[in-house]
Copies of this chain bind each other. A is one copy, B any other.
Amino acid sequence: MRAPLPRLPTPHPSRIPGLIAHLGIFSRLSEPQVAELATDARLSHLGRGTPVLHRGEPLPGLIGIGYGLLKLAARGVNSEERVLRLLGAGESFGAASILLGRPCPVDVVTLSDTLLVTVPTTRVLKLVDLDPKFAHRMMLALAERNMGLLSELATRALQRGIQRVACYLDSLARPLDGSERCMATLPVAKAVIASRLGMKKETLSRLLHELAQNGLIVVRGPEVEILDRARLAEIAYRDPCSPDRQAAGPLVQGASTRRPPSDPKLQTLS
């Protein structure tokens, strides 16, 4: 936390409809529908590290991101926190809570300069009631999050730290001009990513080091060069109990050859 909490100048409100229309959850709405959502909507331009909501507070509405980054985190009784989700531009949160009239279940904090749009609860509920197509899309969005949360739980339960790291890097990989190599840029501080992956920053540091020592990646600050994506994916999806293929160092031990039936990849910023 930081002391002064700078509330930055807010952009021109006339941009609200455009921002709303670019949120995934409000895409495909008609222009008048967007306009109606926009009548009440508020913009907030927040500096990095600003708390947006605390757990237990009432949600003013559905909150979308124009630009910037948010983290949603659960907090223990003292101060330990676990990042549950990272959100970027075009994404939103709070749908489930406002539909049920529940308070915010997580702490929400900006991770960079961020522009938020808040569409008041009543407008969203009205839209759900009046537009069956919107209600349907909302239902599908909730179902999608459901599947995502489920796979998150499964990932946590079944994968070791190093597998989650490998998985995450694989999900960030962008092809580089050179055929084999890829790049991955860590979108936020390593401590945040560590928390998102269910570990401490020290552990993440060690695991990245271990991957580097084995020639899979090269770490330069937030830029990670992926030298051997195939082998990285193999680690990510390997059965940690299967026998060694080649004694290749201290890198876990197993090396099964098949991918798992489903796709437990961590999503970028999800």
In the complex where A95-B143, A143-B99, A146-B142 touch, is A241 in contact with B78 (Cβ < 8 A)?
yes
In the complex where A102-B147, A242-B78 touch, is A156 in contact with B156 (Cβ < 8 A)?
yes
Q: Is the CB of A153 within 8 A of B152?
A: yes
State whether the Cβ of A77 lies closer than 8 Å to any Cβ in chain B. Answer: yes
Given A82-B158, A96-B144, A153-B156, 9 other A-B contacts at CB below 8 A?
A77-B242, A78-B241, A80-B158, A84-B154, A97-B147, A99-B139, A105-B262, A128-B136, A132-B135
In the complex where A99-B140, A139-B135, A140-B99 touch, is A74 in contact with B147 (Cβ < 8 A)?
no
- Give complex CA distance A145, B95 in Å: 13
State whether the Cβ of A151 lies closer than 8 Å to any Cβ in chain B. Answer: yes
Q: Is the CB of B100 within 8 A of A140?
A: yes
- Give complex CA distance A150, B149 in Å: 7
State whether the Cβ of A225 lies closer than 8 Å to any Cβ in chain B. Answer: no
By a beta-carbon cutoff of 8 Å, the part of chain A in contact with chain B is 55-56, 74-78, 80, 82, 84, 95-97, 99-100, 102, 105-106, 128-129, 132, 135-136, 138-140, 142-147, 149-154, 156-158, 198, 237-239, 241-242, 256, 258, 260-262
- Give complex CA distance A2, B145 in Å: 35
Q: How far is the CB of A156 from chain B (nearest CB, A)?
A: 6
- Give complex CA distance A138, B140 in Å: 10
- How many copies of this kind of chain does the complex include? 2
In the complex where A99-B139, A262-B55 touch, is A145 in contact with B146 (Cβ < 8 A)?
yes
- Give complex CA distance A80, B204 in Å: 25
Q: How far is the CB of A134 from chain B (nearest CB, A)?
A: 11
- Give complex CA distance A258, B77 in Å: 8
Q: A157: which of B74, B100, B151 is its contact (CB, 8 Å)?
A: B74
Closest to A149 in B: B149
List, in ascending order, chain B residues with CB within 8 A of A143's CB: 95-97, 99-100, 142
Q: How far is the CB of A241 from chain B (nearest CB, A)?
A: 5
- Give complex CA distance A156, B84 in Å: 11
- Give complex CA distance A80, B241 in Å: 10
Pairs across A and B, CB under 8 Å, 28 listed = A55-B262, A74-B153, A74-B158, A76-B260, A77-B239, A77-B260, A78-B239, A78-B242, A78-B256, A80-B158, A82-B157, A96-B142, A97-B147, A99-B143, A102-B147, A105-B147, A105-B151, A128-B139, A135-B135, A135-B136, A139-B139, A142-B142, A142-B146, A145-B146, A146-B146, A153-B156, A156-B156, A157-B198
